[in-house]
């Protein structure tokens, strides 16, 4: 079926372009004028202005380790996260907790816990798989460094980023 496109009949002013060009110039001029006085600009100047307050509840940022209300590491070095990690970003070196330690009943804790942030894909599988609720994805997204070595988060950094998390956390409640 033939489709008939009705071409509107243009007036002389429309055919000689100039009036509509002037109208267009007026529009862009108004935008220019407003933007010079810093009005109506939509750009967000990133490092100075951030949108952190508007991050969604379910945002998956950098993975971190948390300690509990007793000041104990929650991680028991079961290495499930190391095994599930798709890009193999996590490296754990477990150690036995000595007999005379207060938490010797836990038996194992990580001696070293490294997450290579150049490999991490922020999938959150480590958080999901962790039986002890020790690893959480937080809202830090700006992970930068000047070398590859700097981009590896060791145990200390991970605990510092993670902070303290108390009580039992159910999987899909607001604390996540």
Contacts with another protein by CB under 8 A lie at 18, 21, 24-25, 27-29, 31-32, 34-36, 40-43, 45
Taking the least distance from each CB to another protein, the nearer of 45 and 173 is 45
Distance in Å, CB of 128 to another protein, minimum: 40
Least distance CB 16 / another protein (angstroms): 9
Which residue, 4 or 18, has its beta carbon nearer to another protein?
18
Q: What is the smallest separation between the CB atom of 12 and another protein, expressed in angstroms?
A: 13
Distance of closest approach, residue 18 Cβ to another protein, in angstroms: 8
Q: DSSP string of the chain?
A: -PPPP-PPPPPHHHHT-HHHHHHHHHHHHHHHHHHHTT-S-----TTTS--GGG--TT----EEE-B-TTS-B------HHHHH-TT--EEEEEEEPPTTSTTGGG-EEEEEEEEETTT-----HHHHH-TT--EEE-S------SSTGGGEE-HHHHHHHH-B--S---TTSTT-
């Amino acid at each position: 079926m033939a489709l008939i496109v009705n071409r509107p009949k243009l007036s002389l002013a429309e055919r000689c372009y100039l009036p509509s060009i002037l109208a267009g110039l007026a529009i862009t001029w108004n935008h220019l004028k407003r933007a010079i006085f810093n009005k109506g600009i939509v750009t967000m100047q990133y490092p100075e202005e951030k949108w952190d307050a508007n991050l969604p509840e379910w945002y998956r940022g950098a993975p971190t380790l948390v300690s509990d209300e007793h000041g104990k590491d929650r991680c028991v070095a079961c290495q499930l996260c190391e095994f599930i990690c798709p890009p193999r970003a996590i490296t754990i070196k477990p150690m036995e907790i000595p007999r005379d330690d207060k938490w010797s009943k836990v038996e194992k804790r990580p001696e070293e816990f490294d997450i290579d942030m150049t490999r991490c894909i922020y999938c959150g599988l480590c958080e999901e798989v962790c039986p002890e609720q020790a690893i959480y994805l937080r809202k830090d997204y700006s992970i930068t460094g000047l070398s590859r070595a700097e981009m590896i988060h060791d145990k200390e950094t991970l605990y510092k980023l993670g902070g303290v998390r108390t009580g039992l956390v159910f999987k899909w409640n607001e604390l996540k």
